[in-house]
Structure formats: C-alpha cells, structure tokens
Structure 1
Amino acid sequence: MQIETVTRPDHFKVPVTVGDYVLKSKLGEGSFSIVWKAEHKLSGQEVALKQVYPSRLNRQLRNCFDCELNFLSSVNHPNIVRLFDVFRAEGCIFLVLEFCAGGSLASYLQHRGRVQEQLVRGFMQQLGAAMEILNSHHIIHRDLKPENILLSVPEDDAVLKISDFGFSRYVHPSDYAETVCGTALYMAPEVLQFQRYDEKVDMWSLGAILFELLNGYPPFHAATEHQVV
C-alpha cells in the first residue's frame, strides 16, 4: 500500500491519499504522530486518521501505543473516541478514529471562556462515565487535559469524548506506575514528585479541568513542571 502524493504550489510534497482515505487537512502533530482529517474515498465518511511513526517510539512509548490499540479496539463508549480500523502504509501505522466536528475542549474554552455551572455539571458527568470505563479496564490515561477531550459538535449539547491515549498504561490493581509523563499543569503531585502512582492521578487531572471550566483558566500557571512543584 502506498501513499499517493502531489506537489502543491509551495513545492512541498504533501500526502493526498492513503489506503482508502483522502487526507483533507492536518488536525495536529506530535513528536511521533500526525493526526489528519480524512474522508473515505467511497463512502465519504469523515474520520480522524492518526499516523504513527513506529521508528520514533522508544520501548516505553511502544508499550503505551500497544495499550492504546488494545484498549480502543475493545471499547465502544459514547464518551471515548472510537477506533474503527488500523492499517499499515509506508512504514507507518494508521489509526482510523472517530472525527469530532466540535474540536477540542481547549478550543471551546478559548472561544467561550468560563462555562456555566449547569453545563459544566453535564460535561463532568460525561467525563466521569468515561473514567468508569478506563478504571474497569485498569487503564491510566496519564495526559488528561482540555486538548485531549473532544466535542462531537460545536454546540453546548456536544458529547465529550476522551482521546489521545498515547501515554496510557495498563496497571494491575495491586501495582503502580512510575514514569513521569503528561502535561505539567494537569499532573498530579505524586507524578511531579517522581513518586509511584495509580489511576487516581487521572482524577487529579479531571479536577484541574473542572477548575478551568468554571473559571476560564487553569488552576496553576507555570512554564515547566519544576515551577508547578
């Protein structure tokens, strides 16, 4: 399977199709993956196509990626982004994910500022329902933040969906994790202080998100995790 390309006027070669999908625009990019808005060539279904570069994954990130695949392929819940398919092309692994037209909760907050309590209550109930599923599978997300929570539609009655499980990990109920990962402003104290931790760190992150929803800004202000500590 090959990625077809064309040369745009800016002289950069940009992938246009991959497998059965036409790439429309770039939604985001990290150190080892790119997320595209894409469309199925036959059905016209819009999806988010996550392009992962296995060569950029160290052992720990590879374990996280395997956890992401295993978890998303085993759940179908309205508050967790849906995984439809997985395929390989050009040395990359592509995850065909549910496309959420409302964008991220971070963008929602940026445009609307603080959110009314009644709406926040509904949002948090949805996130709580998603956390029940994670806990039942013994999964720690480890990077819960507004950027990783998506809205099904741009309106206030949107369905919230937890996404980006790239730092997720399975932890046995009697075991702990130790790796420091995530985003400083939403990290629990035990993570920042290099201590062992369990699934409760995700609840801390949700608490920080709750604060931000109600106030329009995060509870902490710092450029690095050292300043947070």
Structure 2
Amino acid sequence: MEADRPTIGEYTLTCKLGGGSSSTVWKAEHRTTGKVVALKQIDLLKLTRQLKSCLDCELSFLSSVKHPNIIRLFDVFQAENSIFLVLEFCDGGDLAAYIRDHGRVQECVARKFMKQIGAGLEVLSMHHIIHRDLKPENILLSTMETDPILKIADFGFSRLLNPNDLAETVCGSPFYMAPEILEFKKYDDKVDMWSLGAILFELLNGYPPFRGRTSVQVWEDDQL
C-alpha cells in the first residue's frame, strides 16, 4: 500500500535503483499525477568541495538542455539534508544490463547505439562540458522494447572545461578511463572519446577491453 511507502516531498519512493558513496537513485511516483520518475538523492553532508562543484555543473547543464540522448532534469528540491534531482525514468535500465542480457551485439546495433551516444556527446561539447565517467552503467535505455533511445546520465563527475584548458582530477571508472587520467596527467575532453571507444569494444565483444580490478592493474594491461 502507498501509505507504507516512504515519501519525499511530492513523491512516493517505490524502489532503489542504485547509488554510490554520496548519492542514491530511487524510482518514485508523483503523489498526485502518478508520473514515474527517477529521484537522485545527494547527501549534502558527504559533498566535498570538488563534488559540490561537479553538482553545480550537473544542475546548470541539465537544466539548460533538452535533447533525446541526454537524461532530462525536471525539478530540484531539498529535504532531509539532501538535494533531490527529479529525473526522467528510463524503463529499459542501463547499457551494462543490456550487454549482460544480450552479449555482444551486431555491428548494426552497435552503430546505432554509437550514433546516439555521439549525438549526446556533441551536446556536451557545445556546452564545453566533459562527463568523465562514461560507462555502460551511465548510459540508460528509454524502453525495454526493440528500439530504445540511449541517454547519457549521471553527470556527478562532470565539469566545465573551456577550450585550451586542461583538467587534472583523477576520476571515473578504471575500465573506461583514458590513459592520461590513469597516468595522472592533465587532460581535455578527448577522455570522453576514449571512454566511448571502450564502450564500443564492449558492445562488439561482450566484455571490456582491459582487465584488472584497480586502476593500476588496468593501466598495466593497457601497456601490454
């Protein structure tokens, strides 16, 4: 019964979708309209200065963009020492689950998926935003049907990077991190293209291009 479910603001939480060290993502329904959304809950007490800067970038970018291959941000509110991002809910899950279920995909499917992710990355480039954590878990599918729309999500490590500037913060997921990040070098928006290439490899083969459980092990495998 709905009365037994926790509520946050105008939303009833239905289940937990995932999360990390400072955030949790919930599936939720609007208590009046019944609209299904994803609520990203960010614990304010766990926000470092760097994560706060990334959150500001995420909110600024998503609130100004409406594109089919970028996750939609509908609203933002604060409650219970947390900031809640009201996001578009994607019924098809993420690309990581898709690969687990389907194994390697046909080239025509990989090409279609790459075009969609590339279209989203083009929007990021136009706004001088680097994502820095592109991976199958952060690519969502609009539906479980045969022709899903892919959407880039989770901009928790994103930042504004103006032309000719370089970033140096080490962040992301080892399997998809560009060599310059793994080597603690300064980098630009090309690191997102490296991640895109790693995703393409995984789509075509059913497994990531590198092995290892840590960034050091992945870097060593990359050198072979």
Cα distance in 2, alignment partners of residues 53 and 181 from structure 1? 19
- 1:148 deviates by 0.3
**Of residues 30, 34, 46 in structure 2, which corresponds to 1:44?**
34
Between the aligned residues of both structures, percent identity stands at 65
**Of residues 9, 13, 21 in structure 2, which corresponds to 1:19?**
9
**Of residues 204, 211, 222 in structure 2, which corresponds to 1:221?**
211
SS of aligned partner of 1:73:
helix
| Structure 2 portions without partners, runs of 5+ | 220-224
For residues 1-229 of structure 1, the aligned pairs below 5 Å read: 16-229=6-219
SS of aligned partner of 1:25:
strand
Assess if the C-alpha contact under 8 Å between 1:119 and 1:156 holds in 2: no
How many residues were matched structurally?
Answer: 218
Cα distance in 1, alignment partners of residues 114 and 24 from structure 2? 28
Give the TM-score of the pair, scaled to structure 1. Answer: 0.93
Moved segments of 4+, more than 4 Å: none
- 1:54 deviates by 1.3
- 1:90 deviates by 1.2
Cα distance in 2, alignment partners of residues 29 and 158 from structure 1? 23
Q: Deviations over 1:129-182 (max 9, x none)?
A: 001000000000000000000000012310000000000010111210000000
Cα distance in 1, alignment partners of residues 145 and 168 from structure 2? 39
Bigger share in helix: 2
SS of aligned partner of 2:115:
helix
Give the TM-score of the pair, scaled to structure 2. Answer: 0.95
| Structure 1 portions without partners, runs of 5+ | 7-14
Cα distance in 2, alignment partners of residues 55 and 66 from structure 1? 16
Cα distance in 2, alignment partners of residues 95 and 65 from structure 1? 10
Match in the other structure for 2:222: none
Cα distance in 2, alignment partners of residues 179 and 152 from structure 1? 31
**RMSD over aligned Cα, in angstroms?**
1.2
Cα distance in 2, alignment partners of residues 206 and 224 from structure 1? 20
Q: Which amino acid aligns with 1:64?
A: C
Cα distance in 1, alignment partners of residues 36 and 137 from structure 2? 20
- 1:29 deviates by 1.7
Cα distance in 2, alignment partners of residues 115 and 169 from structure 1? 32
Cα distance in 1, alignment partners of residues 121 and 139 from structure 2? 12
Q: Deviations over 1:101-138 (max 9, x none)?
A: 00000000001100111111110000110010000000
